[in-house]
Amino acid sequence: METISENACFGGVQGVYSHRSESCDCDMTFGLFLPAEAKDGPVPVLWYLSGLTCTHENAMVKAAAQGWAAEQGIALIFPDTSPRGDDIANDEAFDLGQGAGFYVNATQNPWAPHFQMYDYITKELTDLVFDKFPLDVTRQAITGHSMGGHGALTIAMRETGRFASVSAFSPICNPTDSDWGRRQFTAYLGFEEDEWAEHDASLLMAKHGFDGPILIDTGTKDQFLDLLKPETLAQAAAAKRQEIIFRMQPGYDHSYFFVSTFMEDHITFHAEALYA
């Protein structure tokens, strides 16, 4: 692992690191904020998964998360959204290829050799950060925005017992029935739609639910509402009688202005679960 940068931040350290990924067969970069309490021992962790076109840097710089995390003594992990490099498959569209890994393990060429983002997040990067940094593996929560909200919800529901809580900002809720999903799942996973269902938050909610609290925020003026389909997740959660806070925030769009506005709420929500 290589240290790219480390900066003092709200009494702690905001670092950026790179490493060779076996899962993705390329160099990967991630951000990690450690609060001051990490000097004295392992601290709870909140994973933040970013959306389409983002790198590790977007949320690290724009989400206004570190100050609230510092108040709660919580570390933040900002992974990248896909493998990257000149020799890695890509697409001209912004919603497929580099910057658009959708947190799945691709089985189809040309994506399969590198696009193993589910294993990268849930196994390889997890093993690395808990080995190298003072993080408490028994206290983890996860959140994300847009494609990253999709990733946070699906990973939380599939990785049973790992996360104390999950939240999402404007998540893609029903990708198997959305243009932000069907095209990408076909490319990455092939035409077997049964395989897609394991990466659809609404279908996973109906099938499994989540063994903890969930917080969802979506703006009423989100320009991508028809692609996000928040109503499908709300209906599935209601039918499952899932513990959930589901909010449509009046006047807000899909931007980081929206994310940063409600970041305090989300970190406080996760702190309550992590310190319970």
200 is catalytic: no
178 is catalytic: no
Instruction: Say how far apart CA 155 and CA 38 lie, in whole Å.
Output: 26
Residue 74 confidence (pLDDT):
98
What are the structure tokens assigned to 208, written together? 């499994």
Instruction: Say how far apart CA 172 and CA 190 lie, in whole Å.
Output: 20
254 is catalytic: yes
**Which one is catalytic: 56, 145, 150, 254?**
254
Q: What is the pLDDT along the chain (276 residues), one digit of tens a residue?
A: 999 999 999 999 999 999 999 999 999 999 999 999 999 999 999 999 999 999 999 999 999 999 999 999 999 999 999 999 999 999 999 999 999 999 999 999 999 999 999 999 999 999 999 999 999 999 999 999 999 999 999 999 999 999 999 999 999 999 999 999 999 999 999 998 999 999 999 999 999 999 999 999 999 999 999 999 999 999 999 999 999 999 999 999 999 999 999 999 999 999 999 999
**Which one is catalytic: 23, 82, 146, 170?**
146
Q: Where are the domains of the chain?
A: 2-274
Residue 165 confidence (pLDDT):
98
Looking at the whole model, is its pTM more than 0.95? yes
Angle at alpha carbon of residue 169, lines to 166 and 171, rounded to 5°: 85
Instruction: Say how far apart CA 100 and CA 94 lie, in whole Å.
Output: 7
- Checking DSSP bridges between strand 214-219 and strand 244-249, what pairing results, if any? parallel
CATH of domain 2-274: 3.40.50.1820
**Which one is catalytic: 50, 150, 222, 270?**
222
